[in-house]
Amino acid sequence: MVAGRLFVFLPGTQGVPDLYRLVLRSAATRGYHALGLSYPNDEAIGAICFLQPSGCFWDVRREVVTGGDSSPLLSVATSDSITTRIAKAVAYLDANHPGEGWGQYLAGGIVDWSRVVVGGHSQGGGHAGVMSKLYSMSGACYFSSPADWSVIDQAPASWTQRVNLTAASRQYGFGNVRDTLVPYDQLSEIWAAMGLTAWGSPVSVDSNVPPFGDSHVLTTAAPGVGNMPSPEHGSTVRDAATPRDSSGRPVFDPVWAYMCLR
């Protein structure tokens, strides 16, 4: 390991890390320590907060991230929160693989966020977005997410405009314009509210190559693979839905590297 960075990936609703092996392998081959995290994700945040005030998204996601009692709409123990699970996983890996350098990501048992890049798909990307408001991380990258749209306000959830602790210059989004689960017209407004459009207009990865004009907002119109519901929603990063070239390599590997692994 040479990068001195930890890449943590958060799956989408009811997803598990095994569904996202390709992006984790992409990080590992580039020298990152890579960790796919299981966490409480049985319920879709959009369903929990449907027709609730805009602040619902912030309160619910903070509880999933920290385990604090911030919302009456779900119950996540501190021991099951995303932050605790990351710390426990890293401590376990350091104890059981002492020569691999996992311990550098903990300071007194607490995660050293300055060395961590958090990526996520769908629900996981929304949690990564909230984490960018709570922690000063090395970076954050969002796949088909965050999807926090207030039906009452017909606008991005209010948390998207909170002050960043992870600078917007270290955040990137990637979405499929054909996505039927997270409509691109909403996603683009969410990314704008988060400050990602400060580096220029969205750039299609289908007709451009890295560094994509230094844009922080990337799109594709590529059809998703397979027969799962809305394969375009998973096409940006989920193994079974993301396109591959003739050699089996994921087509979007250079996109993942540009967004998350710099």
Does residue 146 have a cis bond before it (omega within 30 degrees)?
A: yes
Indicate whether 115 belongs to any domain: yes
Indicate whether 1 belongs to any domain: no
Extract the tokens encoding 61: 């996601």
Q: What is the CATH number of the domain that holds 137?
A: 3.40.50
Q: How many residues does the chain have?
A: 262
Query: Can you give the pLDDT at residue 7?
Result: 98
Residue 77 has pLDDT above 70, yes or no: yes
Q: Please check whether residue 222 is in contact with residue 235, taking contact to mean a CB–CB distance below 8 angstroms.
A: yes
Indicate whether 135 belongs to any domain: yes
pLDDT digits (tens, 9 = 90+) for 162-218: 999 999 999 999 999 999 999 999 999 999 999 999 999 999 999 999 999 999 999
Q: Where residue 1 falls among pLDDT bands split at 50, 70, 90?
A: very low
Nearest Cα neighbor of 151 from 13, 48, 260, 43 is: 48
Number of domains in the chain: 1
| Residues 225-239, mean pLDDT to the nearest whole number | 90
Extract the tokens encoding 143: 């796949």
Indicate whether 198 belongs to any domain: yes
Indicate whether 183 belongs to any domain: yes
Q: Which domain holds residue 243?
A: 6-260
